[in-house]
Structure 1
Amino acid sequence: MSGATSGIGLASAQRAIQEGAFVYFTARNTEALAQTQALLGQQSHGIQCDHASVHQQQSMVSYLQHSAAHLDAVFLNAGNVHHEAFGQWDEQKFDEVFNTNIKGPFFLLQSLLPLLNPGCSVVLCGSTSIHIALPQSSVYAASKIALRSLVKTLSRELLSQQIRFNLLSPGPTQTPGLDKIASDESTKLKLRAEIEQLVPLNRMADSSEIADAFIYLASAESRFVIGTELLIDGGVANL
């Protein structure tokens, strides 16, 4: 499980452990990694990894191989949520988003393939942003819609290996990621109010609600679900 030290990733790791799973999780920051390890306990193992770096991902996979790990489910949740006005994007910012959100997952899955058990469920974290035209989301939404294509093509290509790929697309969710978009507390409160107005249910999701959806997609209960997208967005994309 990537990006598991806060928000959706942390809630999903906690739910997986409650269901009896042993969870390998990753984080870029070593301090956050240690704090999450203490929180999740012995039914988990944290590995430092920046998922924008293919080299670091390969080192992580080598560690899993040496540990004789075999995976029944994978949640690629790490993401770069940077938003910017169209005229303010530069090549470096663009690459940072795409390296984390699509290049990283693509090459990580390629490296993990020998470790995936038959029947493995791979869940990629998308976004409702791919269905709506939010200002300043051009690059972020483009990176996430690429994942939507990836779950379809890989589901077909790896069908004979009995590996399922699905996209879990959260709507507005109350996570620390909001702090990365808003520069100060007043801006954050204004942004939260604007976001909530977009949601037919008039609220943001709690991370645990997204985690519940991940557990469904990761489990055998969804064994007939493949190559599709599950929207957990309070009706944003459909109402």
Structure 2
Amino acid sequence: MSKLTGKIALITGGNSGIGLATARLFVQEGAQVIITGRDQATLDAAVAELGPAALAVRTDVGSLPDLAALFEQIRARFGRLDVVFVNAGIFKGGSLQDSTEELYDEVFDINVKGAFFTMQKAEPLLADGAAVVINASTVIHAGMPGASLYAASKAAVRQLARNLSNELAARNIRVNVVSPGYTRTPIVGRAGASPEQVEGFFGHVSGEVPLRRPAQPEEIAKAVLFLASDDSSYVVGEELLVDGGYGSIGAAGVAR
């Protein structure tokens, strides 16, 4: 039997990158999947690819009215959630001096406020024994110049998972974290980089990763599936690094 047969799964930010790769895998494993995103065109394209087992709901996770509408639609149509992948997020860099209040608000509204209130709105719909996976980042284990706000936002959601794990454990709801390393997704280009700069970035960071390459979204999706399925039934409050060794053994193989 497939690992998610009969399960209802929500993936925020499921219209591209890691979220879309995870949606593909969840559908293959028998789940009914709800994906969200802010761009209607990519949502439509994702649903066309995923087929009848997918539903797309345009949602800005930084907007509480959007979240309320999303979960009301899920409640009315499905009545419950068995899996939630809190994945929606943005990466925008800036040095200490170049960062503005607007940048701070944008990063934290999506990455932290969005994650927290996604969980708050989802909790009444979570079935006992449900699984929640929150997407953080390996950057919380290493200093990266120009990524202070992003790293701080991802450290916040890692701690959020610890606390929610304890809060929801009485209902046997497991909350865990996947922390990807450098992954080939559109998130880098959305930060304003040109195609040439994106390739230069991945070429540079590949030299820092012990496995000497960035991850593919499908590799992260497999880790999410593990945490979302009964394969991880005794795993709770944990963080799974999927980063080619970067966060554990360090850049260029130098132990941390």
* TM-score with structure 2 setting the length: 0.91
SS in 2 for 1:78: coil
Tell me the distance in 1 between the aligned counterparts of 2:78 and 2:177: 27
Tell me the distance in 2 between the aligned counterparts of 1:37 and 1:188: 27
1:227 and 2:237 correspond:
yes
Match of 2:23 among 13, 23, 40: 13
Letter in 1 for 2:157: L
Match of 2:93 among 67, 74, 83: 83
Deviations 1:7-48 (A, max 9, x none): 100000000000001101111111111111111110111111
CA contact (8 A) 1:170 1:210 kept: yes
SS in 1 for 2:31: coil
1:145 and 2:155 correspond:
yes
Match of 2:82 among 72, 75, 79: 72
Alpha-carbon deviation of 1:235? Answer: 0.3
Unaligned runs of 5+ in 2: 1-10, 250-256
Match of 1:158 among 168, 171, 183: 168
Alpha-carbon deviation of 1:144? Answer: 0.3
Match of 2:53 among 43, 51, 55: 43
Unaligned runs of 5+ in 1: none
Letter in 2 for 1:59: A
Tell me the distance in 1 between the aligned counterparts of 2:27 and 2:179: 22
1:131 and 2:141 correspond:
yes
SS in 1 for 2:247: coil
> Which residue is 1:189 aligned to?
199
Aligned pairs for 1:204-219 (under 5 A) are: 204-219=214-229
1:174 and 2:184 correspond:
yes
> Which residue is 2:71 aligned to?
61
Tell me the distance in 1 between the aligned counterparts of 2:183 and 2:124: 33
> Which residue is 2:44 aligned to?
34
Alpha-carbon deviation of 1:182? Answer: 5.3
Tell me the distance in 2 between the aligned counterparts of 1:186 and 1:26: 29
Deviations 1:107-161 (A, max 9, x none): 1211111110111010000000000101111000000001111111111111111
Tell me the distance in 2 between the aligned counterparts of 1:36 and 1:75: 16
Letter in 2 for 1:108: T
Runs in 1 of length 4+ with deviation above 4 angstroms? none
Alpha-carbon deviation of 1:189? Answer: 2.3
CA contact (8 A) 1:101 1:143 kept: yes
CA contact (8 A) 1:26 1:33 kept: yes
> Which residue is 1:25 aligned to?
35
Tell me the distance in 1 between the aligned counterparts of 2:194 and 2:13: 24
Tell me the distance in 2 between the aligned counterparts of 1:7 and 1:192: 15
Tell me the distance in 2 between the aligned counterparts of 1:30 and 1:20: 25
Alpha-carbon deviation of 1:186? Answer: 2.7
SS in 1 for 2:130: strand
* TM-score with structure 1 setting the length: 0.97
Tell me the distance in 1 between the aligned counterparts of 2:93 and 2:24: 29
CA contact (8 A) 1:182 1:191 kept: no
Task: Quote the sequence identity (%).
Answer: 39
SS in 2 for 1:133: coil
SS in 2 for 1:202: coil
SS in 1 for 2:198: helix
